[in-house]
Each structure stands twice: as structure tokens, then as C-alpha cells.
Structure 1
Amino acid sequence: MREKGPGQEALETPRAAALAGVVFALLLAAVIVLVRLGLPEGADAATAQWFTDSGQRDALRTALALVPFAGIFFLWFVGAVRAHVGAGEDKFLATVLLGSGLVFTATLFGAAAAADAVLDVGHSGGAAPVPETWGFGRDFAYTLMTGYAMRMAAVFVCSMSVIGHRLGVLPRWLTVLGFLTALTLLFLSSNVPWAELVFPGWSLVLSGYMLAVARRTRPAGA
């Protein structure tokens, strides 16, 4: 078997990690949609049909089962982003980028754990839980997801956009898209339903761009 040269290995690893970014974006979008549909933000315990609808409960359980995999693929995505930036990245911004990515993952897991707790507050017969218990679990899950996880995602997107602009590793249109995404997540995610979908959308676009760059540069490296 022919051994790979250093240049070829350096190109193929970010390409595989960028594919992980595509998977992360699709998984996170699926999680957000399923949670929004299965755990309505404005519904109370008395009127929510979720406790008597096995389909909605199964959809929410599916979403919660996908969260750990979304977090794993996101860490690969962070690695792809840092590999795409290269050795010339600013240490301050690189630290902010990595730190915000880790905090985002932790708060996403916390939101999933809170939503999973809501699943367990219903009685075995499917009766509605105590309103206070339902309200606390639902609000806690949404606060973690829209109030904290998405704001950490905004810091991640903003720092990546600044690094990409300074080093010239991102085109102007993608940098502008990143800043608009960060502003949306920072100011609208807590007040506008479904606004958090812009983060997996941006991740999908960025991953596609990195895959395109890796495809163009691979013949030269080989």
C-alpha cells in the first residue's frame, strides 16, 4: 500500500471533518424541529396533547437520542474549522472560538437533559403532570437552548467570521452571512420561534464551502 504524504493527509482530514459538519447541521436542525413540535413552548400542562399523543412523545425521544451524536459531530466540525483556518489564527480569537464551541455543546446537552426530565414527569397512564412541574421543565429546557446555547453559538459564529475576515480564508459573502447569523442568534433566538435554525443553516453552508475548497486543492496537494 502506498503511503500518504504529509500534504495529502493534511487535506483529507479536514475534508472528512467538514463532512461531519454537514451531518451536525442536519442533526441539529432535526433536533430543533422535533423539540419544537414535540414540546410546544407556549402550551401548558392542561392543554398539551403531548402526554396523550404517543407520536409526539416518540418524536421528542428521537430528538433527544440524536443530541449526543450532534454534539460529537459538532466537535469534529470545530476541528475542521480550525484546520481550515490554519496556523495563522489569532490565539485570542482561537481561544474564544474553541471555548464558545465547548460551552455550546455543554448547554445543548443540558437542554436535552431538561427536556428528557419533562418526559418523565408524566404519569405512567399518560395523564398530564402537575402544571408547575411541566412549566419549570419546559421553560428550563427552552432557556438553556435559546437563551444560552444559541448565544454561545453566536459567539462561535462571530469569532469564526472575524478570523476568516482577518486571514482571508473566508469569502466576503460568507463573512457577512456569519455576522448576520451571529446577530440573529444573539438578539432574536430567545424571542422569535425557530430563529435558532439559522445556526445549523450557517454550519451547513460553511461545511459545504470547506468541502469545495478541499476538493479544489486536493489535486495540487496530491
Structure 2
Amino acid sequence: MPTTGGDPTRVLQTPRIAAVAGIVSGLLLGIAILLVRLAVPEHAEDAVDWIRATSQRDFLRTALALLPFAGIFFLWFMGAVRDYVGAGEDRFFATLFLGSGLLFVAMLFVLAAAAGSLLAVTDVSSSPSAGQLALWQYGRHLVLALLTSYSTRMAAVFVVSTTTIGHRLGIFPRWLVWLGYLVALALLFAVGTTSHCELVFPFWMLAVSSHVFVVTLRRHRSGGRAGQGSREGRTGGAGR
């Protein structure tokens, strides 16, 4: 849509704070996943004890308060990564990047809604009925399935696509490329069999966000010369 009364050469620039969004999202997501893991038992026979346990319900309430903000900052993280990559991304991997990232956020919110149902169908002031226990078992299974089977697989695709883009463009150092592929393998095959393995995804986000933030900060201090970030990434990748 054409505009009037403005400078035609002016373009929107990504705020520098966007690079910090991945760090915030990684921390919030890691804490939320850990709280969900501590709050939701893996065994169905623990239903009655969970309903009467105030601490576990408090863990879940805290996780539900953190998850929406983790998803919001994750979108900022995606934007920061795309800005760092620039216009050189491949359409195939760019589609995987966007699709898997958006699906991950959607599943994260569905997981939060399902986890909230565990609190809604129980009443700690009275003994749970058979119907409450049945609904609780359904919600428990749904939460664990979303966490260990579906959202983590989308996270693995997101890690693979992001790492491949960074590797082919030479903007990720070698250690970050190896870390990305190892994290993707863990999310694809180890989650569900290894306890708390989901936490490798927030750890990877922290690593990528820290790298992007450092390179962006150096680019800003040196005057924002075009292509400097890519050259630094290639130099770091070749030297490590």
C-alpha cells in the first residue's frame, strides 16, 4: 500500500532488544517445562495424591502463568533469528522454520489449556469423584503427550531448519551447528524415554540467542556495516 508524506527510503529496523527475547523465552520455557514435569505425575495411580497435593497444584499454576509469555517471547525470538539471517535463507528451510515454529507455539498454548483443565476438574476441598478422576486421567495423558510427543517433535524440526540455515550461510559457528543437530536428535528420539530431556530445547535457545545478541551488539558498536554479522559468523565457524 503506497504511503504519502514520508521518506520513501526509510525502512523498519529490528529493535536491538529483540535479540534478548530468545534468552527470556528460553528461561521462561525452561522453568515452565520443569514445573509441568514436577507437577504432572507420569503414573496414573498417583491421581488421588496429586489432587490433594497443594504444592504440585501450585507448580502447575505457576507454569500456566509463565507459558503464555514464553510463547510471546518465542515469536520475538523467531523474528530476531530471521533478521539475523537476512535475505539469504532458502525457501524450503524458511518454510520449515516458520511452520514448525508457529506449530510449536500453538501446541504450547494447547498444552497450557490442557494443563489448566487438570486444575478445573478437581476440587481439593472434597474427595474426588469417579468422573473427576476420569477427566483428570484424560487431561494428564493429553498434557504428557503434547509435551513429550508433539511439541518436542516440532521443536526438533525448528532446530534442524534453523541450524541448517545458519550452517549453509556460514553465520553459525561450528560448535553451535553441532549443538543444534545433537539437540534435534535428542528431541526426536530421546524425549519420552529420558526424563526431563525436553529441557535441551530451551538450552539451545539460550545458546542461539546469546550468539545472535553478541554479534548484533558488535555490529551496532562498529556502526552497523552491512554484512559484518555474516562475516563474523563465517570467521567464527571456520575458526571453531
Q: TM-score, normalised by structure 2?
A: 0.83
Q: How does 1:40-55 map to 2 (within 5 A)?
A: 40-46=41-47, 48=49, 50-55=50-55
Checking the alignment, whether the CA contact within 8 Å between 1:155 and 1:182 is kept in structure 2 is yes
Task: Report the equivalent of 2:213.
Answer: 211
Q: How does 1:108-119 map to 2 (within 5 A)?
A: 108-119=108-119
Regions of 4+ moved over 6 Å: none
Deviation at 1:132, TM superposition (A): 2.8
Relative distance call for 1:126 and 1:18 in structure 2 (3 A) is farther
Deviation at 1:192, TM superposition (A): 1.6
Bigger Rg, structure 1 or 2: 2
Relative distance call for 1:178 and 1:133 in structure 2 (3 A) is same
In structure 1, stretches of 5+ residues that fail to align are: none
How many percent of aligned residue pairs carry the same amino acid? Answer: 51
CA distance in 2, matches of 1:144, 1:30: 17
CA distance in 1, matches of 2:129, 2:194: 27
Task: Report the equivalent of 1:33.
Answer: 34
Relative distance call for 1:217 and 1:118 in structure 2 (3 A) is same
Deviation at 1:41, TM superposition (A): 1.7
CA distance in 1, matches of 2:32, 2:139: 17
In structure 2, stretches of 5+ residues that fail to align are: 1-8, 225-240
Q: Which amino acid in structure 2 is aligned with residue 23 of structure 1?
A: V
Q: Which amino acid in structure 2 is aligned with residue 96 of structure 1?
A: L
Task: Report the equivalent of 2:76.
Answer: 76
Q: TM-score, normalised by structure 1?
A: 0.90
CA distance in 1, matches of 2:199, 2:55: 23
Checking the alignment, whether the CA contact within 8 Å between 1:123 and 1:129 is kept in structure 2 is no
1:122 aligns with 2:122: yes
CA distance in 2, matches of 1:141, 1:160: 26
Relative distance call for 1:87 and 1:136 in structure 2 (3 A) is same
**With CA pairs under 8 Å and 6+ residues apart, which has the higher RCO, 1 or 2?**
1
Q: What are the Cα deviations for residues 120-144 of structure 1, in whole angstroms up to 9, with x where unaligned?
A: 1213515345343222110111101
Task: Report the equivalent of 2:94.
Answer: 94
Q: What are the Cα deviations for residues 64-113 of structure 1, in whole angstroms up to 9, with x where unaligned?
A: 11111110000000001111111111111111101100000001111111
Checking the alignment, whether the CA contact within 8 Å between 1:46 and 1:128 is kept in structure 2 is no
Task: Report the equivalent of 2:57.
Answer: 57
CA distance in 2, matches of 1:194, 1:46: 21
Relative distance call for 1:174 and 1:195 in structure 2 (3 A) is same
